[in-house]
Structure 1
Amino acid sequence: MADLRAGLIGLGAMGRHHARVLREISGVDLVAVADPGGDPFGVAGGLPVLPDVEALIAAGIDMAVVAVPTKFHEEVGLALAAAGVHAMVEKPIAENSEAGRRVADAFKVAGLVGCVGHIERFNPALQEMRRRMEAGELGEVYQIATRRQGPFPVRIADVGVVKDLGTHDIDLTAWVAQSEYRTVAAQVAHRSGRPHEDMVFASGRLANGVIVNHVVNWLSPMKERTTTVTGERGAFVADTASADLTFYANGVIPTEWESITAFRGVSEGDIVRYALAKREPLRVEHEAFRDAVLGLSNDIVTMEEGLRTLQVAEAVLQSAATGLTVEL
């Protein structure tokens, strides 16, 4: 069977990584790249840098990765759908949910594979956490809390921290819990002089009753990427920067030292950091996209899921603007 002919549009900070992985995975041949701004990182190799999505389509591709700025996702996505090209669009799916709906509908009507690049789902720590939760190792889930902080990325200029970093946490939380958001309440701040928000604190409740909260900003001097899931048997803590997963079990041995008991709260049990294979999330994501195009699996983040994540992000911004809890 011939390799799938892949195209890539957008050769910036994220596009360069897509180019590398597209060349590494089996069953895929990167045959065309496009970026009207040229090739700043020199990833085209021997391929000509095409000027736009029309030229990319004309190269005769089966599938494409869209890594252009968010405001161009709709235009590029609709062109690919009209041409019958399967696509993975970097997150968020589009600039707003109305545009996201048009993109998702276009791929659905055309019968094409359309997915969104919410890469955190493919992090080995979260994949292992999800597997263990499904096996019942945590029991009933009570709360999911995420922290995603770090310095401002100069490459992001067209959206704020909610639609950029925050959508990672929204997507992974709904996926880990296997439940959609029902309410959100949020506060944002503008501290860096840019037009978009750079800090957010959001809390909410999922349809299954799990309470959630997210601390996200672009103004922290240290980089933090953690997801903590607390349940009846203890807590999982996933550090997606290092791909480590740790389980803190509730204890069954009572603490006899009174002052320590008062300080520690719930009695402590075993602490286990799991040994797990740490494959590159971007590679796993690309393999899932390839397999979906070949009809072998459905482990992708669908465009419907990407749209739902964007709708929650917009509800976060609505809550911050109005001071009200928003129901979804």
Structure 2
Amino acid sequence: MKVLIVGCGAMGRNHVRVYSENHRVKQVLAVDAFQESLNALKDLKNTTTFTKLEDALKEKPDCAIVAVPTALHFEIADKLLDENIPLLVEKPITETLEQGKKLVAKAEKQKTVLLTGHVERFNPAVQALKKNMHLIGKPIYASAHRFGVPTQRDVGSPFIDQAVHDIDVISFLYGQTPKEVSAIERRISDEKSSDLCSAIFEFGEFTATVEANRVTPIKSRELTILGTKGAAKLNYITQELAIFISEHGDYKFNTFDEVFQRIGHGTEIKPYFVKEEPLKVEANHFLDCVEGKAVPMISGRDALYAVAAVQAGQQSAKSGKKEKISI
């Protein structure tokens, strides 16, 4: 199989690495307008580089990954859909909701595979939690923290670059999309855009807070979900997952000492799963979709709601008001 990868910046290089190592891929066609970016790929096997997309298309790729800056997602993806090439577009699917709607509608009309790269869905710990959500009962509240160090790269709003991961994961785990959001966004050290955001997403009877920034001296990506029967704690980076089941339920305490002794008491469960790089899991899923062996785990509707949630969060930060989320 020939895989075309358009955009070989930080994320694009990871895609090239992963697909060049995949035994199902015969050749990787890497495209970037900057030769310097392509030079970084010289040691990767089965990889041919191009500075022009048109030249790479002459090689007749079987599928493509769009990893250019978000502002260019629509332009490149639309051009590749014109060629009826199965696509994986990095998250978020497009810069605006309207652009996303056009891409999804076009892919559906053509019956062309279109997957969005919400890579954290493919994190084995997230998949394990999805399978065991019933253990914590009815979800009540979630809290996500995605903290990173400052970067010199122009990656835009932390809503688009970081928080979108957790918005998608929480929606995936809960099984519904958020309806409203209240948010703030700040610029702390980034010269070009905001680099800190905090949002409260309301799903009806379920609420989730999402915090993301690029100003901390540490890298941290964690998610906690509270349910009526317990709680789950997940570390995206280490792929550690712990589920805590409440042992007392309707237990009535007789004395203060008994209350104190039982605080935090519960059964800890650590589901078994094999740790693996999420991008490699995503790549195999995409190739399965291209070969007709699977349907995209992330639907067009899922991708559009992620964009809508991001836009509503940014709008709330500007207006100072609660904003509705819809597509």
TM-score (norm 1): 0.91
> Partner amino acid for 1:147?
H
Residue in 1 that maps onto 2:8: 11
Residue 278, structure 1, aligned to residue 275, structure 2: yes
Deviates more, 1:40-49 or 1:291-300: 40-49
> Partner amino acid for 2:215?
L
CA contact under 8 A between 1:11 and 1:40: conserved in structure 2? no
Q: Deviations over 1:19-72 (max 9, x none)?
A: 121123233323421111121422555644212322222210110111111111
> Partner amino acid for 1:116?
T
User: In structure 1, what is the Cα distance between the partners aligned to 2:211 and 2:47?
Assistant: 42
Aligned residues: 320
Aligned-partner SS, 1:33: strand
Identity across the alignment (%): 26
Deviation at 1:264, TM superposition (A): 7.2
Aligned-partner SS, 1:220: coil
| Unaligned residue ranges in structure 2 (runs of 5+) | none
Where does 1:110-149 land on structure 2 (aligned, <5 Å)?
A: 110-133=110-133, 136-149=134-147
Deviates more, 1:267-276 or 1:106-115: 267-276
CA contact under 8 A between 1:236 and 1:245: conserved in structure 2? yes
Residue in 1 that maps onto 2:19: 22
CA contact under 8 A between 2:229 and 2:245: conserved in structure 1? yes
Deviation at 1:77, TM superposition (A): 0.1
TM-score (norm 2): 0.91
Aligned-partner SS, 2:132: helix
Residue in 1 that maps onto 2:232: 236
Residue in 1 that maps onto 2:49: 49
| Unaligned residue ranges in structure 1 (runs of 5+) | none
Counterparts in 2 of 1:163 and 1:283: CA distance versus 1, 3 Å: same
> Partner amino acid for 1:149?
F
User: In structure 2, what is the Cα distance between the partners aligned to 1:281 and 1:307?
Assistant: 22
User: In structure 1, what is the Cα distance between the partners aligned to 2:256 and 2:166?
Assistant: 38
Residue in 1 that maps onto 2:206: 210
Deviation at 1:320, TM superposition (A): 0.6
Deviation at 1:174, TM superposition (A): 0.5
RMSD of aligned alpha carbons: 2.1
Q: Deviations over 1:188-223 (max 9, x none)?
A: 11111423211111002115x211111111111111
Residue in 1 that maps onto 2:196: 199
Residue 303, structure 1, aligned to residue 305, structure 2: no
User: In structure 2, what is the Cα distance between the partners aligned to 1:29 and 1:317?
Assistant: 42
> Partner amino acid for 1:183?
E
CA contact under 8 A between 1:32 and 1:56: conserved in structure 2? yes
Residue in 2 that maps onto 1:93: 93
Deviation at 1:278, TM superposition (A): 0.4
Deviates more, 1:242-251 or 1:29-38: 29-38
Aligned-partner SS, 1:181: coil
User: In structure 1, what is the Cα distance between the partners aligned to 2:270 and 2:155?
Assistant: 39
Residue in 2 that maps onto 1:169: 166
CA contact under 8 A between 2:20 and 2:46: conserved in structure 1? no
Q: Deviations over 1:242-265 (max 9, x none)?
A: 000001221327778735835975
User: In structure 2, what is the Cα distance between the partners aligned to 1:313 and 1:183?
Assistant: 11
Q: Deviations over 1:146-180 (max 9, x none)?
A: 1110102333x152111110110111011010101
Aligned-partner SS, 2:26: strand
Where does 1:33-112 land on structure 2 (aligned, <5 Å)?
A: 33-38=30-35, 39-43=38-42, 45=45, 47-112=47-112
Counterparts in 2 of 1:315 and 1:142: CA distance versus 1, 3 Å: same
Deviates more, 1:71-80 or 1:51-60: 51-60
CA contact under 8 A between 1:54 and 1:79: conserved in structure 2? no
Aligned-partner SS, 1:142: strand
Aligned-partner SS, 1:137: helix
Residue in 2 that maps onto 1:185: 182
User: In structure 2, what is the Cα distance between the partners aligned to 1:290 and 1:82?
Assistant: 20
Deviation at 1:137, TM superposition (A): 1.4
User: In structure 1, what is the Cα distance between the partners aligned to 2:298 and 2:27?
Assistant: 22
User: In structure 2, what is the Cα distance between the partners aligned to 1:197 and 1:260?
Assistant: 48
Counterparts in 2 of 1:48 and 1:281: CA distance versus 1, 3 Å: closer
Where does 1:286-301 land on structure 2 (aligned, <5 Å)?
A: 286-301=283-298
